[in-house]
A = this chain, B = another copy of it.
Amino acid sequence: MELIAELLHITAGGRSIAILSEETASSLGVRSSDRIRITHNKNEAIAIANIAAHFPENRVGLYEEIATILNVKEDEKIDAQLAQLPESLSHVRAKVRGERLRETDIQNIVKDVVERHLSEVEIAAFLTALNIHGSSMSENEALSKAMVETGKTLDFGKTPILDKHSVGGIPGDKTSLIVIPIVAAAGYTIPKTSSRAITSPAGTADRMETLCPVNLTIKEIRETVDKTNGCLVWGGSLELAPADDLFIKVEYPLGIDPLLLPSIMSKKKAIGATHIVIDIPTGGGAKIKTRTEAYLLASDFVDLGKRLGMTIQCAITFGEQPLGYAIGPALEAKEALETLKGQGPPDLIDKATTLSGMLFEMLGVKNGKRKAENILVSGKADKKLREIISNQGGNPKIKPEEIAIGDKVTQVKAKQAGRVLWISTENTVQIAREAGAPKEKGAGIVLKAKLGDAVRKGSVLFEIYAERNEKMESALELANRLQPFVLSRKAEERMLLDQVPAKVTREKGFMLER
């Protein structure tokens, strides 16, 4: 049926959408969400029909994505026909019915997600069904592979390629900034891609960005890794497993995460990793709450790794409090540089050398942790990070005290004497974010006491850093309301952990990035 193109002059966020009036849709036999095949000269596009109540008759509204494919101008004629629903939609429906999907079914779905032939409604149904019915290890394998195949991949032309990943969960986790240089200094290749914070106060990319650019091209990554054995870059624009970004977008409002395993493993496979240590922080305020959950997840990672030809070891780590003392991009980068100079907090040093050591031992090295400690103490890791900073375009001579941190500082003090019995990781996250992190890189908090420390009444529990006064004020107000430290002389003196309904309504939950 011949229709007139009406260009909308805005993008649809990558979606393939065409707008029709109710009458025009009815003439075409098209319902909302049906597919239409639009042709103009020799160009063809499949679009998902959106039906609008007040759209002109016999016209089709085209967002820029489709208009570009068709190379059509305002008021030109196009031909529109009802097209078949994509085959992948029948597999989505099968998953809703609880069926197991075959590898080809999953390839179909992932391909159509990336090529935008499935709508967000259909992706939501798929993810909801996956979340409820679960996915078999064969399905996870197929999902991982399909997510790799539909994106770009990196090939460094050598083996082994090491990697370290955290499923996320505790604030202040700057371990990668120590592990990467230790491993690279030992002569192994470890190209680390990471994410920016969205609901946390700092992602590894945010921390590293206070030291050097992280938004590298694939070519620049290869050059950096060729010269230094490692890198610490933002993975967001590299189009490694792009299906995952589309899945995450749909999962986010639903608070579900059925693709945790394939999501992580596809990104690792796409950079060619062969040996990976996966950190699973475990604790009440972390993503993984209990040891049982952690062991189940770990065994799934190992199994899926084997299927994908990767050697995986998982570290189940203590996740009941922030790691180290600093939280916030610049404060954490500063703490990482201090740690590389031998002045780091013991939990951070222990975690970084343990994870590095696990990687070494996976490659046959005896006493890997000792080797990692030696590299750290020798200053070789510090030197290596500075090489990486230099190759990514930063200043390799930066001193910890030169990193720009917020110049507004306020101390939050203990209202009573006692021992630190509990620190709410969620509350520290909220306060650091309220202070401006991760957007304002110098904002955050620095703990002055950790679990088990004895504090006197009036001694400092933590400091808040901000770049702007109004942020400081609202962070301080939140800190006073939330009281993230629980103090008492003995555990039995303070049994109340939280109260329901909550003392404060959270604007937004702390959701962990992957």
| Chain A positions near chain B (C-beta within 8 angstroms) | 8, 10-11, 13-14, 19, 26-27, 29, 31-34, 50-55, 61, 82, 84-85, 89, 92-93, 96, 98, 119-125, 127-129, 131-133, 198-199, 249-250, 252-256, 433, 439, 505, 507-508
Given the complex of chains A and B, what is the CA–CA distance between A505 and B90 in angstroms? 14
Cβ contact within 8 Å between B133 and A252 = no
Closest to A84 in B: B507
Query: Which of B34, B54, B93 meets A255, CB within 8 Å?
Result: B93
Complex partner residue of A252 from B8, B33, B127, B253, CB under 8 angstroms:
B33
Name 16 extra pairs, CB < 8 A, besides A124-B125, A125-B127, A128-B129: A8-B10, A10-B52, A11-B52, A13-B51, A13-B53, A31-B199, A33-B252, A84-B508, A92-B254, A93-B256, A96-B256, A120-B121, A122-B124, A125-B128, A125-B256, A128-B128
Instruction: Pull 8 A–B residue pairs with CB atoms less than 8 Å apart, ordered by A.
Output: A13-B52, A29-B439, A84-B508, A96-B128, A120-B121, A121-B121, A121-B250, A125-B125
- A50: B residues at CB distance < 8 A: 13
Kindly state the separation between the CA atoms of A52 and B65 in the bound complex, as whole angstroms.
12
Asked if A124 and B128 make an inter-chain contact with CB atoms under 8 angstroms apart, the answer reads yes
The distance from the CB of A377 to the nearest CB of chain B, in whole angstroms, is 38
Query: Smallest distance from the beta carbon of A236 to chain B beta carbons, Å?
Result: 10
| Distance to closest chain B CB from A43 (angstroms) | 21
Nearest-neighbor residue (CB-CB) of A131 within chain B: B96
- Give the chain B neighbours of A121 by CB distance below 8 A: 120-121, 123-124, 250, 253-254
Please determine whether B124 and A508 come into contact, CB atoms closer than 8 angstroms.
no
- Chain B residues near A96 (CB, 8 Å)? 128, 131-132, 254, 256
A169 to B279, CA, bound (A): 55
> Across the interface, which residues of B come within 8 angstroms of A433, CB to CB?
29
Q: Give Cα distance in the complex from A194 to B121, angstroms.
A: 27
Q: Which among A8, A14, A508 has the greatest number of chain B C-beta atoms within 10 A? A: A508
In the bound complex, do residue A132 and residue B98 qualify as a contact, i.e. CB atoms below 8 Å apart?
Answer: yes
Identify the interface centre among A11, A199, A505: most chain B CB within 10 Å of its CB: A11
Contact of A508 among B29, B32, B250, B508 (CB under 8 A): B29
Report Cα–Cα, A50/B10, bound state, in Å: 13
The answer on a CB contact under 8 Å between B89 and A253 is: yes
A10 touches B19 (CB 8 A): yes
Q: Is the CB of B508 within 8 A of A82?
A: yes
Min distance, Cβ A185 to any Cβ of chain B, angstroms: 34
Q: A10-B19, A125-B125, A132-B132 are in contact. Are A119 and B82 (CB under 8 A)?
A: no
A31 touches B254 (CB 8 A): no
Bound-state Cα–Cα, A198 to B128, Å: 27
A254: which B residues are within 8 A, CB to CB?
Answer: 92-93, 96, 121-122, 125
**How far, in Å, is A234 (CB) from chain B's closest CB?**
13
Contacts of A507 in B (CB 8 A): 82, 84
* Residues from chain B with Cβ under 8 Å of A54 in the complex: 11
- CB contacts (< 8 Å) of A132 on chain B: these are 96, 98, 128-129, 132-133
Shortest beta-carbon distance, A15 to chain B, in Å? 10
Q: How far is the CA of A238 from the CA of B492 in the complex (A)?
A: 63
Nearest neighbor of A23 in chain B, beta-carbon distance:
B439
Q: Which residue of B lies closest to A250 (CB)?
A: B121
**A26–B256 contact, CB under 8 A?**
no
Task: Determine the chain B residues whose CB is within 8 A of the CB of A33 once the complex forms.
Answer: 249, 252-253
What is the minimal beta-carbon distance from A466 to any residue of chain B, in angstroms?
15
Contact B253 A85 (CB under 8 A): yes
